[in-house]
Chains A and B, each alone.
Chain A
């Protein structure tokens, strides 16, 4: 018996909606050849109205589950840009089973995610917590504007604490106004898209960032998780304690300090990054992630995004003995670092030659909500 090598397909397109979608879907279809698509992920700039892209992409892949979202930039392993569409298609065989559900986060986040989980369980025919986490994987695209990522992740963790859910928060080209996600033809402007995949090949979840502890631990002593605000570190106004750790005056803390020195919750020696957003009146700092009282975080020093990304992905590639497809979720703050360093092309090169697509996010998902990180999944060879 011979085994046919299966690879994912990826594409990127720009221009008018009709032409871009046509170019995108034709490229994906051509790369897949005779293998029908099982799952398609697409990531579109808010330059495109979802009405102009969602249904045409869904219609191009009958039989596939299609999920998508708006972005703050799109990329593949070949190209990166803004105001375009990127996509990756996984063929039958690479994906054995796939089920999708959409949660409306505008009212009851916990209830809506629970209902979506129940929908996935109905489709899969068993509870998510019974699925083999070596074969099954969850992918999530979450609204990026309403701060519900932590609650979404908690509900997913409650339903299946051992299952990897990896993904990102939708963006809107730095407009910070509204983002959308889609499942099939359904679009939500305040929702979460979930795709449950049974992989036909080994896979690895990727989580990489480019920060090292600076040697200053801060303990959260007063905070407001619902607004992602830390009021006090070590019993002092948060901005004062943070500034002192950096050797700065409190009034010298600015966006560049925040970008280069987020804080990290250390897990087995690796940081789960929480990025500062702004100083708030009263001496607090608002972050892009929740923290809770009693939590210790390390002040971080920025490293080399490109080199660290390349190293992390090479290690995954080597571990799997090759790769057939990948989906990546890269933080918008990392994109801004790459923009500032004019290193976007080098970032694409760091992704290697694995057929891959992704987007620049307003937050990343793996076990919880993270910032300034690249998360993703790499599928091994078959």
Chain B
């Protein structure tokens, strides 16, 4: 998928995690440590930034969550 925002990535990920949505916490922390981008509460300047989106999508893919 081609995400338009970090918010959109989070919603897709949450839908995939389903009842295991508590898992967003450690995943989001790992993404933040690697990319500087918060998946849970993205900064306005990062939410629709193409570079930030690319970095987050890549980090999630590395963790086995291909969107």
Q: Given that A294-B46, A367-B26 are contacting pairs, would A158 and B63 also be in contact in the complex, using a CB cutoff of 8 Å? A: yes
Q: How far is the CA of A164 from the CA of B27 in the complex (A)?
A: 11
What CA separation (Å) do A129 and B26 show in the bound complex?
13
Contacts of B1 in A (CB 8 A): none
In chain A, positions 254-297 with a C-beta closer than 8 Å to chain B are 265, 267-268, 272, 291-296
Secondary structure at chain B's binding surface: helix, strand, loop or mixed? helix
Q: Is the CB of A129 within 8 A of B64?
A: yes
Q: How far is the CA of A294 from the CA of B55 in the complex (A)?
A: 11
Q: How far is the CA of A267 from the CA of B26 in the complex (A)?
A: 10
B27-38 vs A, Cβ < 8 Å mask (1 yes, 0 no): 111101111110
Q: Chain A: which residue is nearest B22 at the CB level? A: A162
Cα–Cα, bound, A164→B26 (Å): 9
Q: Are B63 and A292 in contact (CB under 8 A)?
A: no
Cα of A164 to Cα of B29 in the assembled complex, Å: 12
Does A154 sit within 8 A of B, measured CB to CB? yes
Chain B residue at minimal CB-CB distance from A289: B33
Taking a contact as CB atoms under 8 Å apart, the answer to whether B27 and A162 are in contact is: yes
Shortest CB-to-CB span from B51 to chain A, Å, is 8
Residue of A nearest to B40 (CB): A268
Asked if residues B33 and A294 are in contact (CB atoms below 8 Å), the reply is no
**Interface size class for chain A?**
20 to 34
Complex interface residues of chain B between 10 and 67 (CB less than 8 A to chain A): 23, 25-30, 32-37, 40, 43, 46, 52, 62-65
CB atoms of A368 and B29 under 8 A apart: yes
Residue picked from A220, A291, A368, most chain B C-beta under 10 Å: A368
Residues of B within 8 A of A158 (CB): 62-64
Q: How far is the CA of A367 from the CA of B27 in the complex (A)?
A: 9
Complex alpha-carbon distance, A220 and B64, angstroms: 28
A294 touches B29 (CB 8 A): no
Closest A residue to B34 by CB, please name it. A154
User: Is B27's CB under 8 angstroms from A161's CB?
Assistant: yes
Q: A154-B62, A157-B63, A161-B63 are in contact. Are A292 and B34 (CB under 8 A)?
A: yes
- Asked if A296 meets B30 with Cβ closer than 8 Å, knowing A161-B64, A220-B36, the reply is no
Q: Which residue of B lies closest to A295 (CB)?
A: B36
Min CB gap A264→B, angstroms: 12
Q: Which residues of A contact B64 (CB under 8 A)?
A: 129, 158, 161
A interface list, Cβ under 8 A from B: 129, 154, 157-158, 161-162, 164, 220, 265, 267-268, 272, 291-296, 367-368
Beyond the given A158-B63, A158-B64, A367-B30, could you list 16 further A-B residue pairs with CB under 8 A, ordered by the A residue number?
A: A154-B34, A154-B62, A157-B30, A265-B33, A267-B28, A267-B29, A268-B25, A272-B29, A292-B36, A293-B36, A294-B52, A296-B36, A296-B43, A367-B29, A367-B33, A368-B33
Q: Which 10 A-B pairs have the closest CB atoms?
A: A295-B36, A368-B33, A294-B36, A161-B63, A157-B30, A292-B36, A158-B62, A367-B29, A162-B23, A267-B29
